[in-house]
Amino acid sequence: MNMAQTDVLLVACGSFNPPTIMHLRMFEIARDHLERLGQLKIIGGVMSPVHDAYQKQDLVSSEHRCNMLRLALSDHDWVRLSEWECQQSGWTRTRQVLQHYQNQLNSAMNANHDSPLKRQRQCSNRDEVDDAVQNFSNWIPNQCASSGSDRPVKVMLLCGADVLESFAKPGLWNIKDIETIVGQHGLVVITREGTNPYRFIYESDVLTKHMGNIFIVTEWITNEVSSTKIRRAHRRGDSIKYLVPDSVMQYIQQNQLYQEGANSTTNENKYQQNSAAVGNRNSSVHFSPMGSKLIDSSPKGRVVNFKVKSHENISKMAEFLGSEFGTYGEGSTMLKGHELILNEENMKKSAVNTLKAISKSSSRDCLDGRKEPMKSKQKKKPPCKRKKRC
């Protein structure tokens, strides 16, 4: 595919939790490299934060993340924030996100260049065009609106090498999604010195097929800044100055974000009336945001139920169970309904041991600050096998 005379809008999808200096640098690095090659003209960039339903650990609400991005981009003239992904009813596939921006961009550009009569003939859905024109200035970068070019604008995904690596791993992505993302849109991958992203392309038939649409950009000025490290540093009381824009740092401090057990999208507004239960009948630990109590039976029919009334208590519960079950890695399943189920066969012994430890206590912590006495049950003596009277 000939990309020589193509105008490009770069779209970065992610959590931006929080947005870092490196998130902003990605756009600058990509534009410098691609325009130096002379093949692409970068006329704008869009940062599209993921929906709250993504349920990534420590993910603060989209309202906070969008506010931080708005502050971070306040003095940026060619990259904009788009809240469309956050405003959907749930998590949206990356392929659909890119296609949405492509459709909106096409409609808005056509509306700006064509006469009303021509626009009405070309588009069967007039409402879609009107919405695109109305929202055009809200998310589209200035360069797109003022480019004056009659050439179509192509939407490409801007990402890190970790995304390219995930494409090469079987089962992580839908093949049709990869075909659309790489084949129809294209990738601009920011990678670090010393890494070998071409190996990921080589290991994937789909990526190899569309390698002409993949642009590898090396960041020679090494930078190990990540949102995860920033959250950890802030949680521990370390300074995050110069890792995020000053306005973002002030926002984090003012809103007390990324503190222990606070502000996550899995916090009390979603888990206030929830329950968690442990049982060996299905060898599982089950967290759920459902209103009803979850009850599992322990050995000998004894019921063990933990009532969870706050998000802090969920983290305590997870920490307690984690010591018995180990980390939530292989053998755990994260579902979109905010539930975590551990049900591997090799966890059965740990589940039983957990229940035994609980049953030995004279009281149990219901994890809501109360102590509830437990009825002790005397063990029956085994029948005497002697013939003599015991």
What confidence score (pLDDT) does residue 18 get?
Answer: 96
pTM across the whole model: 0.63
235 belongs to a structural domain: no
In terms of phi and psi (left: phi > 0; alpha: psi -120 to 50; beta: otherwise), the region of 333 is beta
259 belongs to a structural domain: no
Q: Which residues pair with 205 in a beta bridge?
A: none
What confidence score (pLDDT) does residue 138 get?
Answer: 60
Cα 354 to Cα 368: distance, rounded to the nearest angstrom: 19
53 belongs to a structural domain: yes
197 belongs to a structural domain: yes
Strands (E), the chain: 6-14, 40-49, 79-81, 153-160, 187-192, 214-219, 274-279, 284-288, 296-297, 303-308, 332-335, 339-342, 363-365, 371-373
Cα 84 to Cα 87: distance, rounded to the nearest angstrom: 5
Cα 82 to Cα 141: distance, rounded to the nearest angstrom: 10
The number of distinct structural domains making up the chain is: 1
75 belongs to a structural domain: yes
What confidence score (pLDDT) does residue 224 get?
Answer: 83
* Domain, as residue range, for 85: 6-112+135-224
- List for the chain the helix, strand, coil content (%; round to 5): 45, 20, 35
Element (H, E) at 203: none
386 belongs to a structural domain: no
Look at residues 59, 125, 52 and name the one whose alpha carbon lies nearest to residue 87: 52
What confidence score (pLDDT) does residue 38 get?
Answer: 87
What confidence score (pLDDT) does residue 220 get?
Answer: 87
Look at residues 25, 65, 4 and name the one whose alpha carbon lies nearest to residue 221: 25
141 belongs to a structural domain: yes
For residue 28, the domain's CATH number is 3.40.50.620
pLDDT in tens, the chain (390 residues): 444 568 899 999 999 999 999 999 999 999 999 999 888 899 899 999 999 998 788 899 999 999 999 999 998 889 999 999 999 999 999 999 999 999 988 887 776 655 444 444 344 344 444 444 445 456 666 556 555 566 778 999 999 988 888 888 887 888 999 999 999 999 999 998 778 889 999 988 999 999 999 999 998 887 789 999 999 999 999 999 999 999 999 999 999 999 876 656 544 334 333 333 443 333 344 443 333 333 333 333 333 333 333 444 444 444 444 444 333 332 333 322 333 343 333 344 444 444 444 444 333 333 333 333 344 455 566 666 665 554
Provide the CB-side half-sphere exposure for 151 (13 A, CA).
Answer: 16
56 belongs to a structural domain: yes
